[in-house]
Chain A
Amino acid sequence: METLLYLFASSVIAIALLALLINWLHPNTHQGPITIETFKAALLDHDQQQAPGTLCLSTDAQQSLALLGKGPKLAIVRRVGDRVALRVLSITELTTRQAGSGQTKVSIHDFTWPSFQVEGKSAEQLAKWQTKFKEASHA
């Protein structure tokens, strides 16, 4: 057990040193906001043929939402390190709640997808979509 703990402690030190070295030699140059080009490329990589509409950018600019075609399907693209991850879901699968003045906290039923915030025009746009498709599903 002592050997295993020693192994674990030395691994943690090795990880920290390697991460510093990687950051120095291979800095992550993909840290800006998710652009429409990034969004389209993510969809294409996953064989999603529908074109995205207007992008709603999260407050930290690390993820974007857009309706696919005329909806109700929606795509979310999230920056994960120097790569991106994609989820395609129905807008009714989003859970939103108010998180302060003009801010909306958004989460999806996905254990590996942290919740995020939108604000300003993005929050308004998201609220419009939700209202529109909620009414459509009740109609």
Chain B
Amino acid sequence: MPENLPDIDVSSLAGPAYVILILIEIIAIKWRGRGGIYEAKDAATSIFMGAGSAVINGALGFITLAIFIFAYQMAPVKIPFNVWTFAACFVLWDLCYYWVHRYYHRSRWGWAAHVVHHSSQHYNLSTALRQSWTTMWSGAFVVYIPLALMGFHPAVIALCGGLNLIYQFWFHTEFIDKCPKWFEAIMNTPSHHRVHHANNPRYLDSNYAGVFIVWDKMFGSFVPELKSDPPRYGLVVDLGTFNPLRVFSHEYVGIFKDITKPGLTLGQRWRYIYKPPGWCHDGSRLSSSQIKANYLDKHPDGAGNPGLPD
């Protein structure tokens, strides 16, 4: 543990703050009569998923930590902890997060874990807590191992990860419309993330950023929120239940059903696991890119507009 690393357990501080902020949002929406909608069962499911995620991922966290410590011991250089190296680690974590998040959306195995977060048809602070119970199982932590190999201490990496997750809480809201222009240009904001949670064809597979929206602009996945196309939240195929066990496991069940279908080749079964969500061997379902193409067939004037292909 670096000597000058502040001894702060960010996750234990965040829990009560989340509840207080949700309370404030519930009351503020009622008071102002705008800025989002709450529904009791939906919010309860979201918060329950969050509590389950904290317990399960917290209990399994030692596995990831052990891997990071092993990688750190192999690092040829150990980076000392100070404000600059912390800032560098925070930015690099966020870059890794961008690619992890992209993987979550573009490979069905990642999506099976992450779909939980997108399964609400509402968008409010409680939605931020609707987190996966199978983060570890998704294998995404592998992307962060290079940080330890570069010589960042695992405790610093964990702190950056915790702060990154905490930053992502506040922008799950419709209560804030737009932030100042300079902020919208650099940082992830409610407007950018509303786009990410929308199932309108133009908004699918966009705005993967955690903290800095610049990654989306650099890697070509940025789509601005358009007043002419207000976001509709939820999945392309919405769930018919609030049952948390079904919410957490439904995509894994879907994968299992697909790979055990009779008459498929080994390659087809494998593709049901790693190809983008919606891929299927017989064309009976649609991936995001096919949904966008179908949308353009019906609305050809939209070609080349934000979020739609040329």
Contact residues of A with B, CB < 8 Å? 1, 3-5, 7-8, 10-12, 14-16, 18-23, 25-26, 28, 45, 47, 78, 80-83, 85-87, 110-114
Residue of A12, A22, A85, A112 near B43 (CB, 8 A) is A22
Complex interface: chain A residues within 8 A of B15 (CB): 7, 10-11
Within 8 A of A (CB), among B110-154: 121-122, 126
Q: Known: A15-B48, A112-B250. Contact between A4 and B54, CB under 8 A?
A: yes
Q: Are A4 and B39 in contact (CB under 8 A)?
A: no
| Subset of 8 A-B contacts with CB under 8 Å | A4-B55, A7-B55, A7-B58, A11-B47, A11-B48, A15-B44, A25-B38, A81-B121
Complex interface: chain A residues within 8 A of B259 (CB): none
Q: Known: A25-B26, A114-B241. Contact between A12 and B51, CB under 8 A?
A: yes
Q: How far apart are the CA atoms of A14 and B22 in the complex, in Å?
A: 11
Complex interface: chain B residues within 8 A of A19 (CB): 40-41, 43-44
Contact residues of B with A, CB < 8 Å? 12, 15, 19, 22-23, 26-27, 29-30, 37-44, 47-48, 50-52, 54-55, 58-59, 121-122, 126, 232, 234, 237-243, 246-247, 249-250, 253-254, 294-295, 298
Residue of B26, B126, B239 near A80 (CB, 8 A) is B239
Q: How far apart are the CA atoms of A45 and B236 in the complex, in Å?
A: 10
Nearest B-chain residue to A16, judged by Cβ: B44
Residue of B39, B58, B237 near A81 (CB, 8 A) is B39
Complex interface: chain A residues within 8 A of B295 (CB): 47
Q: Are A26 and B30 in contact (CB under 8 A)?
A: yes
Q: How far apart are the CA atoms of A80 and B246 in the complex, in Å?
A: 14
Complex interface: chain B residues within 8 A of A47 (CB): 294-295, 298
Complex interface: chain A residues within 8 A of B234 (CB): 83
Q: Are B26 and A21 in contact (CB under 8 A)?
A: yes
Q: How far apart are the CA atoms of A15 and B298 in the complex, in Å?
A: 43
Complex interface: chain B residues within 8 A of A112 (CB): 239-241, 243, 246-247, 250
Residue of B27, B39, B249 near A82 (CB, 8 A) is B39
Q: Are B246 and A83 in contact (CB under 8 A)?
A: no
